[in-house]
Chains A and B, each alone.
Chain A
Amino acid sequence: DVKVTQSSRYLVKRTGEKVFLECVQDMDHENMFWYRQDPGLGLRLIYFSYDVKMKEKGDIPEGYSVSREKKERFSLILESASTNQTSMYLCASSLSGEAFFGQGTRLTVV
């Protein structure tokens, strides 16, 4: 079974802090994604990566950056956290078909 693991289930950070969300997959998938999910807005793509060191902006990249130094790990970075970044963050990976999700990180910025 594919396993996608996010480093934290719940996270509380202060405004202005630099925040790292980590995601690891164990199935050698080339594609990895970061989404945020907010009530009424569905899943919105922040960034995705189709190979090591390769990344593309999704629909809402502002305020975020990503890093993919190894195939299995995809990190989402909030350079300076703001209250409007309070959300559920979901990491996913895929090879050429279905996307598999991690358990999600509920981030609260206070």
Chain B
Amino acid sequence: QKEVEQNSGPLSVPEGAIASLNCTYSDRVSQSFFWYRQYSGKSPELIMSIYSNGDKEDGRFTAQLNKASQYVSLLIRDSQPSDSATYLCAVNGYNFNKFYFGSGTKLNVKP
């Protein structure tokens, strides 16, 4: 079983819609959770981090964490074509020394 699981997609949404990306993880002691965006041919860039249960909002992005169910999600409101990218979920272990990445969900936002 992989440490971090994501649906590979592609997930297609029309411009202006809400995109919902999901991620599950296997290690119950995981402490920190991150969403990265990666454009084709580029390196991942951090867009959100979340450390406690509940929602965290930053502009059009909302990260949601449920440790009991071991899932973390990312909502993108008012999706734009520039949001088209692969979104990577990452989980950090108890000692902060290792990150586990999902294989990413490809998002296509159609104009």
Binding site for B on A (CB under 8 A): 31, 33, 35, 40-43, 45, 48, 50, 56, 58, 90, 92, 94, 96-104
Contacts of B99 in A (CB 8 A): 33, 45, 92, 94, 99
B34 in contact (CB, < 8 A):
yes
B98 in contact (CB, < 8 A):
yes
B88 in contact (CB, < 8 A):
yes
Q: Mind listing 16 A-B residue pairs with CB under 8 Å?
A: A31-B96, A35-B101, A41-B103, A42-B104, A50-B97, A58-B98, A90-B43, A92-B99, A96-B96, A97-B49, A99-B34, A101-B43, A101-B44, A102-B43, A103-B43, A104-B43
Q: A97 with B42: in contact, given A40-B103, A43-B101, A45-B98 (CB under 8 Å)?
A: no
Q: Who on chain B is nearest to A104 by CB?
A: B43
Pairs of residues from A and B, 4 with the lowest C-beta to C-beta distance, nearest first: A42-B103, A43-B101, A101-B43, A104-B43
B27 in contact (CB, < 8 A):
no
Interface size class of B (residues with CB under 8 A): 20 to 34
Contact A100 B46, beta carbon cutoff 8 Å? yes
Q: How far is the CB of B23 from chain A (nearest CB, A)?
A: 12
Q: Who on chain B is nearest to A44 by CB?
A: B101
Q: How far is the CA of A97 from the CA of B97 in the complex (A)?
A: 9
Q: How far is the CB of B27 from chain A (nearest CB, A)?
A: 14
Q: How far is the CA of A59 from the CA of B72 in the complex (A)?
A: 23
B107 in contact (CB, < 8 A):
no
User: Which of B42, B43, B46, B92 has the most chain A CB atoms inside 10 A of its CB?
Assistant: B43
B32 in contact (CB, < 8 A):
yes
Contacts of A45 in B (CB 8 A): 98-99
Q: How far is the CA of A98 from the CA of B46 in the complex (A)?
A: 8
